Amino acid sequence: MRQVQPRQNNLGIGGWIWAGNYKLERYLYILHRVTGLGILLFLLIHLTMTTVFRIQGQETWEATMSILHNPWFKFGEYLVVVALIYHALNGLRLILQELGFLMGKPTPPIYPYRDSLRKKRRWTMAMIGIIIILCLVFFYDFISGGW
């Protein structure tokens, strides 16, 4: 009897970036992972800064802060805030959906198929809208605080 070989996952890590024909939520998931890893990297730098440099006294702290007030660091800081906003709000959406909220009722799989997430797509769009508004609010604050 002819054996059916399982399809190999040849995409590897590339498959984390390219989601093929999957819909919006799959790309939101990729972005959730990317922002999560970015925030983890920032967390390690932030913890080092607020412990090692803080405990060494006023001079070291002020010297560190003067470096961090450089416009490029400020821009990087803004990107971290954007990543935090996205990761937090998308994470809350994922928690609600995992617990069964914001999902459409299950229906028979009759073509054209509609998955449960897409029946309540407006909640996802509302979340994206809130993310954009919060990013603009923080952008205004970063600009008005001076680069």
Partner 1 sequence: MRNTYLWFIQLITGALIAVLAGIHTVWMHLDAILGFFGVDLKDVTGWHSMIERSREVMWAGIYIALLAVVLYHALNGLRNIILELTPSARTERIVTWSIIVFGIMAFIWSVYVPISLLST
Which residues here bind partner 1, judged by CB under 8 A?
33, 36-37, 39-40, 43, 47, 50-51, 54-55, 58, 61-62, 65, 68, 77, 81, 84, 88, 91-92, 95, 98, 137-138, 140-142, 144-145
Q: Please give the structure tokens belonging to residue 9.
A: 């996952």
- Judged by CB, which is closer to partner 1: 24, or 34? 34
Helices 71-98/24-48 angle, 10° precision = 130
Closest distance of CB 1 from partner 1, Å: 28
Closest distance of CB 10 from partner 1, Å: 14
Q: Are 46 and 39 in contact (CB under 8 A)?
A: no
List, in order, residues 6 or more apart from 82 with CB less than 8 Å away: 135, 138
